[in-house]
Amino acid sequence: MNGHRTSGHGTGRQARLGLVLATAVLAVACTGPIPDAGPATSSAVTGAVDPSGTAPSGTDPTGAAPSGTAPSGTDPTGAAPSGTAPSGTGTTGAGGPDTGEPGPGATTPTSQSDPSSPGDSAAGLEDVPEVARRGQPSVVTVLVSGGTGSGVVYSEDGLILTNEHVVRGDTAVRIQFADGRLVDGAVTATDPVTDLALVRAERTGLVPATFAEKLPEVGSLAVVIGSPLGFQNTVTAGIVSGLHREIPGSASQGQSLVDLIQTDAPISPGNSGGAVLNGDAEVIGISEAYIPPQQGAVALGFAIPAATAVDIAEQLATSGRATHAFAGLVPARITPDLAARFDLPGTDGVIVAEVATDGPAAVAGLQPGDVITAVDGVPVPTPEDFLAELRPHRPGDVLLLTVFRPGATERTVSLAVTDRPAAG
């Protein structure tokens, strides 16, 4: 199956506050199932796209096209991933029969070492070769209809964890392992909200990755393994640069770009779905995206935390879908122009752009034009902050929102989140 995608738009008409919002530019690290549209450029979207609840008909539970996307055929920032490998590249060892022999560009790692390794907090660049040696057998190349991505071995019996945007539009893929062996794979479940997916490879006896249970320390070693532009088993290294990162503007395109790990270890197109490892060769994150140099960035890469990846993978493996808190509203950034138009005191907070008919926000009495300044007492100056506060909640949780309507007194609103409506 190609995922149990859900839609946040419900079945009724939505109230909408018409807005034009600019999105930040982020190049997704995948050579794609999407054709290359050249360098990433900023885009504008009419209205807001809802990672928290609703959006125009035909979009996913986050309110956008499946999380991590903008309009069809583009990446989570509204730009196709730059650097897509030309036809005939980025598919090392693909296309031919599975002979069991290493493909032309694959490396053959040695067997895994003893599980003991230098402590993560003490690990440095001198430990990268050992981390790579232990990590490479658990990182694969995912060959899709339009290019390549990466993946991480999740179970001994063939489950591979990757990004949803890597396999989007494909139900059958091919998986190439670090030893060069190439096998068929089937997409079994996807979660566009977190941009994660499971693929079943036709191979057993695999070496599953070990996932870290805790977030890494800022400044600790980060080793990225994947297949950038089809160069299999590529290893880059740096440090963990930050935690709980949100990409400015990403809320208008997909909920996956919040609560991320930031690293300066190089991440490039094709790394998507691959592993970010610590000094103990544990997966601390799944490579997600990077901001390209064209945008003035230097070494800004992002990964989905291991705890999130494991939580979603377990749900997908068990039931084929993941549950997410649904607020039934579209949070939009308050620009200076909007603040002036609605006579708001400033730009902190999120303005409600849409409310789903009979959804949680509507039941709580929220209307388009309301401004949310805090969730459970935590300030939410941007839509990304709002989504980050929503992310850890489960259906049935009650949020206390600090809300005001232009010209009215600030109030506290209780909003009971639900599971996202199924696509229909």
Per residue in 117-148, pLDDT (tens digit) is 344 557 888 999 999 999 999 999 999 998 99
Pair 249, 207: CB distance under 8 Å: no
Q: DSSP secondary-structure letter at 252?
A: G
Round to whole Å and give the CA distance between 158 and 200: 5
From the list 272, 280, 287, 324, the catalytic residue is 272
The yes-or-no answer on residue 165 being catalytic is yes
Which candidate, 115, 17, 3, 127, places its Cα nearest to that of 68?
Answer: 3
- 208-217 pLDDT per residue, tens: 999 999 999 9
Q: Are 27 and 75 in contact (CB under 8 A)?
A: yes
Domain spans, the chain: 1-322
Catalytic residue among 43, 82, 127, 165: 165
Please name the residue that has the structure tokens 């989007």: 168
Question: At 277, which helix (H) or strand (E)?
Answer: strand 275-277
For 184-239, write each residue's pLDDT tens digit: 999 999 999 899 999 999 999 999 999 999 999 999 999 999 999 999 999 999 99
Q: How far is CA 258 from the centre of its chain?
A: 8
The catalytically annotated residue of 75, 127, 195, 280 is 195
3-state percent breakdown (helix, strand, coil) of the chain, nearest 5: 15, 30, 55
Residue 67 among the catalytic residues: no
Q: Which two tokens stand for residue 195?
A: 């941009």
Q: Do residues 335 and 372 touch, judged by C-beta distance below 8 A?
A: no
Whether the predicted pLDDT of 371 surpasses 60? yes
pLDDT, residue 398, reads 97
Cα–Cα distances in angstroms (integers) from residue 8 to residues 16, 53, 131, in the given order: 14, 5, 41
Identify which of 135, 168, 175, 131 has the alpha carbon closest to the alpha carbon of residue 28. 168
Architecture per CATH, 1-322:
Beta Barrel (2.40)
7 catalytic residue (yes or no): no
What residues does 162 pair with on adjacent strands?
197
Which helix (H) or strand (E) segment holds residue 162: the answer is strand 159-162
Helix (H, G, I), strand (E, B) or coil at 313: helix
Q: Which of 244, 258, 241 is nearest to 350 (CA)?
A: 258
On whether the pTM is more than 0.75, the answer is: no
**pLDDT (tens digit per residue) in 74-111:** 233 333 333 332 222 233 333 333 333 333 333 333 33
**Bridge partners, residue 304, by sequence:** 286
pLDDT band at residue 420, thresholds of 50, 70 and 90? confident
